[in-house]
């Protein structure tokens, strides 16, 4: 009986040891928190990778030291189970909604000070404090921006400004913001999207007209060049013919016998059947 009790005691102690033993996995730093008694509060040391005895009066918080990514979106996802999108107003008072993501990492040597400040684990710090910082920075930056800047050329500048404001705020705490970014398109008021569509349509029509005018001008220039080519060709032919006639006349003038010779070459040897009046007279030199 005594032996059985001893075995049960050993088993209970072993089970208690297993239950109280917790692990700090690779890529994490642990923080031990005392819940009761005079030592209530946070342990002054970070716990590196390994196994640790965590008693009934203690809690262990794990902080990952590798890059973390969080997204806050309108649609429900595994990372954003509820509507966590951001809403803000432009200088005209136009309401805009957007989905935003963040990538950051925690300095291992500052895990304890981060926990002392927020008294939360990394998930709560991300979803509450970091999200609030992003929201406040976004509202502040966009409050002076026009709606056309928000969805147009100023979109990239806005998110860069938000990223810098949040980075400067959390860097001294040991949180390094790597990137804050837009996810998808901004959700604009209906009147704005209607105006944008109308502007795009007008621009497309203007471009189409410009293309048609350019095409007509190109075709007209083509015809002009074609006519110019034909005129130049006729001119060259005329000049050539005139030069040929001039050379031929000069040759005949210098050689009058050529005319008579050509006539004899073309004569078939028959005398005309009638003479007088306007009847043709062969070129015969009768001696």
Asked whether residue 101 is domain-assigned, the answer is yes
Of 9, 30, 64, the last residue of a domain is: 64
Q: What per-residue confidence (pLDDT) applies to 277?
A: 57
Instruction: Tell how far CA 164 is from the center of its chain.
Output: 22
d(CA 186, CA 158): 12
Verify that 72 and 176 share a domain, yes or no. yes
Verify that 52 and 132 share a domain, yes or no. no
Q: C-alpha angle with apex 9: 5 to 11, nearest 5 degrees?
A: 115
Domain containing residue 42? 20-64
Asked whether residue 226 is domain-assigned, the answer is no
Verify that 72 and 110 share a domain, yes or no. yes
Verify that 55 and 88 share a domain, yes or no. no
Verify that 28 and 85 share a domain, yes or no. no
Q: What per-residue confidence (pLDDT) applies to 125?
A: 93
139 dihedral zone (left: phi>0; alpha: psi -120 to 50; beta): alpha
Asked whether residue 230 is domain-assigned, the answer is no
d(CA 33, CA 93): 47
Verify that 42 and 56 share a domain, yes or no. yes
Asked whether residue 224 is domain-assigned, the answer is no
Asked whether residue 42 is domain-assigned, the answer is yes
If you ran DSSP here, which 8-state letter would residue 266 be given? H
Verify that 113 and 152 share a domain, yes or no. yes
d(CA 136, CA 195): 29
Verify that 131 and 178 share a domain, yes or no. yes
Verify that 39 and 125 share a domain, yes or no. no
Of 183, 182, 147, the residue nearest 161 (C-alpha): 182
Task: State the total domains in the chain.
Answer: 2
Asked whether residue 193 is domain-assigned, the answer is no
Asked whether residue 31 is domain-assigned, the answer is yes
Asked whether residue 100 is domain-assigned, the answer is yes
Verify that 89 and 156 share a domain, yes or no. yes
Coil, helix or strand at residue 153? coil
For the domain that residue 143 is a member of, what is the CATH number? 3.30.479.30
Verify that 42 and 118 share a domain, yes or no. no
Of 188, 207, 225, the last residue of a domain is: 188
pTM for this model (two decimals) = 0.61
Of 131, 140, 21, the residue nearest 68 (C-alpha): 131
pLDDT per residue as tens, the chain (287 positions) = 555 555 544 544 444 444 568 888 988 998 888 877 555 666 666 788 889 888 787 888 889 989 999 999 998 777 667 889 999 999 988 889 999 999 999 999 899 888 888 888 899 999 999 999 999 999 999 999 988 888 888 899 999 999 999 999 999 999 999 999 999 999 987 776 676 666 666 677 777 778 877 887 888 888 888 888 888 888 888 888 788 787 777 777 776 666 666 666 666 666 666 555 565 555 555 55
**Strand ranges for the chain from DSSP E:** 21-24, 28-34, 41-47, 50-53, 58-64, 68-72, 86-89, 95-106, 175-187
Q: What per-residue confidence (pLDDT) applies to 205?
A: 73
Tokens representing 239 are 């000049």
74 in Cβ contact with 97 (< 8 Å): yes
Of 171, 188, 205, the last residue of a domain is: 188
Verify that 45 and 131 share a domain, yes or no. no
Of 97, 96, 95, the residue nearest 75 (C-alpha): 97
d(CA 32, CA 58): 7
């Amino acid at each position: 009986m005594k032996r059985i009790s001893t075995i049960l005691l050993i088993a209970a102690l072993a089970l208690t040891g297993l239950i109280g033993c917790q692990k700090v996995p690779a890529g994490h730093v642990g923080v031990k928190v005392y819940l009761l008694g005079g030592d209530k509060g946070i342990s002054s040391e970070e716990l590196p990778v390994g196994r640790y005895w965590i008693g009934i009066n203690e809690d262990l918080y794990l902080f990952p030291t590798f890059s973390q990514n969080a997204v806050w979106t309108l649609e429900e996802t595994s990372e954003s189970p509820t509507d966590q999108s951001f809403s803000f107003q432009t200088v005209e008072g136009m309401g805009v909604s957007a989905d935003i993501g963040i990538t950051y990492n925690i300095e291992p040597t500052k895990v304890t000070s981060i926990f002392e400040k927020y008294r939360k684990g990394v998930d709560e710090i991300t979803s509450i404090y970091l999200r609030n910082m992003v929201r406040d920075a976004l509202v502040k930056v966009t409050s002076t921006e026009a709606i056309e800047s928000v969805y147009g050329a100023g979109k990239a500048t806005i998110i860069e400004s938000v990223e810098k404001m949040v980075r400067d705020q959390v860097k001294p705490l040991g949180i390094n913001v790597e990137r804050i970014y837009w996810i998808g398109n901004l959700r604009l008021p209906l009147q704005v999207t209607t105006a944008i569509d109308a502007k795009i349509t007008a621009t497309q029509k203007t471009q189409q007209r410009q293309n048609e005018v350019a095409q007509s001008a190109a075709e007209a220039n083509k015809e002009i060049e074609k006519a110019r080519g034909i005129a130049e060709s006729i001119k060259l032919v005329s000049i050539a013919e005139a030069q040929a006639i001039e050379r031929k006349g000069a040759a005949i003038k210098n050689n009058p016998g050529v005319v008579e010779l050509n006539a004899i070459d073309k004569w078939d040897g028959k005398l005309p059947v009638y003479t007088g009046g306007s009847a043709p007279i062969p070129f015969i030199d009768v001696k």
